[in-house]
Structure 1
Amino acid sequence: MAERRGAFQAPTFGPASKRPKGEVKKKVVKSPGNEEAIKPTTSSGGRADPQGQFLTRDLAAALVEVRTENIKRQLVIASGYFPGDAISPPPEEVQRLIEWCRIEKKQLILGCDANAHHKVWGSTDINHRGEDLLDFLFSTNIEIVNVGNSPTFMNAIRREVIDLTLATPFIAWMVKNWRVSEEPSMSDHMAIEFNVEATASADIECRIPRKTDWEHYIAHMSSDLKGLKYNISSNEDLENASAHFTSCLKRAFENSCPLRNKTISRDVPWWNNHLEKLKKTAKKAFNKAKREGSWNAYRLALTNYDKEVRKAKRQSWRSFCKGIDKTAPAARLQKVLFKDHSNPIGQIKKPCGEFTNDPQESLRALLETHFPDSRQITSEDGAPAGKVYNPTRWDSQKADLSVSSFRAKVRDVVYRDQCGLSNQ
């Protein structure tokens, strides 16, 4: 989960004024250790979840599970863009997402480029989009988590607060240390950081087969099976012998491979001191650009930093691949590379406004959209019957002629340009 943080301070619009003074402090889990407290999940009971319904060009939503006060709660994390040319924010898909969370009783945190101005969230002025958005938030009981008036959008000619962090009331109380990051974001929009307070579960204990004491394992098995003979004369005898042998294997493994605390490393092998210096240089150039307006120097430093990061990643990967000279690392790498990482076909919104229910229906929707008036080839057409479609509106001969005509036109334009006849 991205490290987004937020505290509530007056006069910020939010639940700060409602917070009781005697509130019990909860442990705040920062993002490097949040894997145990926050993890992806799906909604229960077979109900639709937001991954399929709310993945559009301007909206992406994911359902995660957050452990708070030893209670698991489902939380929708979403990122949205509110088009500036729309009549009034928020877009229809965002309204549907908020309504879905209300019906399904899910908490929501929405980070958005609202393209709306209002002094409530720190903008320098108020426009009609800001007023419409504020009215909508009041009517749906959605809180604004922004703190202060630090610009979230910044370029050479403009600084404004147009990026908002919105949340339902319950989860808004758990958002801490909200701030606009000073780190270069590679964009005109600044990165926003905050914490969602959550109680981390106990350390995960697991057995790591690679660290098994195999000598101890063999000795343990030899001791358990020494002089043992199975008299198998029936299916019941076979089941009993199998259960006993399985218990011996399990006991030997557990004694030879003790439980260990699982640790998750967040370090990356490609980071180095040179990149750290370039990052600091880009940050200094950014601060100088804000003070003096020297944005060209900042863009140059940022481009150089980005270029070196990509170069370091490539070199690190090549070095890793060259260093694989043993069977075990090569086997692990092959296992990772040969996994099927292809994403299945998700839900697609049909022209009628409904969503498809399965991959077959999604394929039919794609076919009807891109190859309208197509029909299925049957045995009557002289071909084997099957799910083969013939796009009747696609004429290969016309396509050939179109390509040939285009190539002829290109050659003619190039020739006229070389001969100085382009203006004639």
Structure 2
Amino acid sequence: MPHDDEVEPPPAILRKALWEARRRKVNAIIGSDANARHTVWGSSDINVRGELLFNFISSVDLFICNRGNSPTFVTAGREEVLDLTLVSRDAVPLISEWKVLNDHSFSDHRYISFNLDRACPVRKPFRNLRNTNWVLYCRKLRSALPAAPPRDSVLSANAIDECVEVFSSGCRMALESSCPLRSQKGKGKPLWWTPELSELRSSSRRFFNKARRSGLGDDWALYKVGLAIFKSEMKKAKRSSWRAYCESVEGCQESSRFGRILSKSPISVGYLRDGAGEWTSSSEESLLYLKLLLDAHFPKNQSVERASLGELQGGESAFVNLLDDRHLTWSLNSFKPFKSPGLDGIIPAQLQRAIGVPRKVAFSPLCSGSWW
């Protein structure tokens, strides 16, 4: 909420956000640099902006989380409470341990911390497929696969489905054994971070702490110089890292991703409206409404059960010739190893590694008597 804004606080975008939250019946948590003073949230006095903002907070049933009068804004000549944490009524029980931290924030505003109960996301374990032990994977897959159907057998659709399920289950079991789950860790340093930046950051913090304790103008001037040097070097490091990344972009895939990064209007799934006239509120919700499209444009859409393949008829030998080992191997190797999996959860790398397994699985029983 800029102090020089001609419009009385809060700005229109916040009013609109609160209206939307009430419409969707969801809670709101607001962190703001209000640039307004009022004794209710710990300021030293009350100004016009503070009075206007307090009246708005009362009118829309928001609650102020600020506790005490620890300054949230600190400069060489002034300390004041200008930053607010506001929540809707139903979210008040979820907020606890609100406080202003003493950590240096590299700004004239200090960090504000609070706990949001029962809202911490659960960190799910994951598998880094690029770190798979492929030797162990092949050994586990070899032991998991049963004997292959005869080379000259022609199976029904149900029998083929059973073969596919056996192979898919074997791949999943082998991957679980050779690529164990790992727990998520916190974010590491960015690629552009250097030991020199760490030293400059520590130096800036020391200058800030010394200036706050002494209150001397010379110490504050020294802190501002140190902070300016740190921010300048950090910008240079970011710029150099970005330039190096841009120069390294080669190929269609990387260029496409690079284009999405720079795009000002990224492509997203459009919003849909159901039969009751209600619009979806996000791209994720729109994906769940894809069945609406099928029902609207294909009202008679029904699943069709496959019949048995039966015996091959004449003229289909050319199709059978495409299903030999050479063509299947070429087809599998044409995929990028770690391309996103389908509904079965199997990535191309699993199929490519399975090529070297002696006891192999056939994708079609028409091509060979082995499991490949």
Q: Tell whether the structures are fold-level matches, with TM greater than 0.5.
A: yes
Provide the residue aligned with 1:245 in structure 2.
Answer: 167
| 1:286-297 alignment runs, 5 A limit | 286-288=211-213, 291-294=215-218, 295-297=220-222
| 1:146-295 alignment runs, 5 A limit | 146-198=66-118, 200=120, 203-225=123-145, 227-230=147-150, 231-268=153-190, 270=193, 272=195, 274-288=199-213, 291-294=215-218, 295=220
Provide the C-alpha distance between the structure 2 equivalents of 1:191 and 1:261, rounded to a whole number of angstroms.
28
Distance 1:163-1:210 versus aligned 2 partners, 3 A rule = same
Provide the C-alpha distance between the structure 2 equivalents of 1:319 and 1:303, rounded to a whole number of angstroms.
24
Distance 1:114-1:217 versus aligned 2 partners, 3 A rule = closer
- Aligned CA-pair RMSD: 4.0
SS at match of 1:198: coil
Does the Cα contact within 8 Å between 1:82 and 1:112 map onto a contact in 2? no
Distance 1:216-1:239 versus aligned 2 partners, 3 A rule = same
Does the Cα contact within 8 Å between 1:123 and 1:162 map onto a contact in 2? yes
SS at match of 1:173: helix
SS at match of 1:93: helix
Provide the C-alpha distance between the structure 2 equivalents of 1:264 and 1:188, rounded to a whole number of angstroms.
27
Provide the C-alpha distance between the structure 2 equivalents of 1:138 and 1:192, rounded to a whole number of angstroms.
22
Provide the C-alpha distance between the structure 2 equivalents of 1:214 and 1:198, rounded to a whole number of angstroms.
40
SS at match of 1:107: coil
In the alignment, structure 1 residue 136 sits paired with structure 2 residue 61: no
Q: CA deviation at 1:90?
A: 1.8
Provide the C-alpha distance between the structure 1 equivalents of 2:120 and 2:106, rounded to a whole number of angstroms.
32
Provide the C-alpha distance between the structure 1 equivalents of 2:256 and 2:200, rounded to a whole number of angstroms.
28
Distance 1:201-1:127 versus aligned 2 partners, 3 A rule = closer
Which whole-Å deviations, capped at 9, do the CAs of 1:307-364 have from their partners, x for residues lacking one?
Answer: 344456678889999xx9xxxxx99x969965833353599xxxxxxxxx99xxxxxx
Distance 1:237-1:338 versus aligned 2 partners, 3 A rule = farther
Does the Cα contact within 8 Å between 1:184 and 1:282 map onto a contact in 2? no
Q: CA deviation at 1:300?
A: 0.9
In the superposition, the TM-score normalised over structure 2's length comes to 0.57
SS at match of 1:143: strand
Distance 1:336-1:180 versus aligned 2 partners, 3 A rule = farther
| 1:14-413 alignment runs, 5 A limit | 81-86=1-6, 88-198=8-118, 200=120, 203-225=123-145, 227-230=147-150, 231-268=153-190, 270=193, 272=195, 274-288=199-213, 291-294=215-218, 295-310=220-235, 340-341=260-261, 342=263, 344=265
Provide the C-alpha distance between the structure 2 equivalents of 1:148 and 1:88, rounded to a whole number of angstroms.
26
Provide the C-alpha distance between the structure 1 equivalents of 2:183 and 2:7, rounded to a whole number of angstroms.
54
Distance 1:126-1:318 versus aligned 2 partners, 3 A rule = closer
Which whole-Å deviations, capped at 9, do the CAs of 1:72-94 have from their partners, x for residues lacking one?
Answer: xxxxxxxxx25544353222332
Provide the C-alpha distance between the structure 2 equivalents of 1:203 and 1:155, rounded to a whole number of angstroms.
39
SS at match of 1:261: coil
Give identity over the alignment, percent. 33
Provide the C-alpha distance between the structure 2 equivalents of 1:253 and 1:301, rounded to a whole number of angstroms.
52
Write the letter of the residue equivalent to 1:169. R
Distance 1:288-1:242 versus aligned 2 partners, 3 A rule = same
Provide the C-alpha distance between the structure 1 equivalents of 2:77 and 2:148, rounded to a whole number of angstroms.
85
Does the Cα contact within 8 Å between 1:114 and 1:162 map onto a contact in 2? yes
Distance 1:254-1:343 versus aligned 2 partners, 3 A rule = farther
Write the letter of the residue equivalent to 2:221. N
Q: CA deviation at 1:121?
A: 1.4
Larger strand percent: 1
SS at match of 1:205: coil
Gaps of 5+ in 1: 1-80, 325-329, 348-356, 359-424
Distance 1:336-1:177 versus aligned 2 partners, 3 A rule = farther
Provide the C-alpha distance between the structure 1 equivalents of 2:199 and 2:16, rounded to a whole number of angstroms.
47
Aligned residues: 261
Distance 1:313-1:146 versus aligned 2 partners, 3 A rule = same
Write the letter of the residue equivalent to 2:15. Q
Write the letter of the residue equivalent to 1:344. S
Provide the C-alpha distance between the structure 1 equivalents of 2:183 and 2:71, rounded to a whole number of angstroms.
43
Distance 1:336-1:261 versus aligned 2 partners, 3 A rule = farther
Does the Cα contact within 8 Å between 1:152 and 1:162 map onto a contact in 2? yes
Provide the C-alpha distance between the structure 1 equivalents of 2:3 and 2:237, rounded to a whole number of angstroms.
36
Write the letter of the residue equivalent to 2:50. G
* Higher RCO (Cα < 8 Å, 6 or more apart): 2
Distance 1:175-1:343 versus aligned 2 partners, 3 A rule = farther
Provide the C-alpha distance between the structure 1 equivalents of 2:166 and 2:88, rounded to a whole number of angstroms.
55
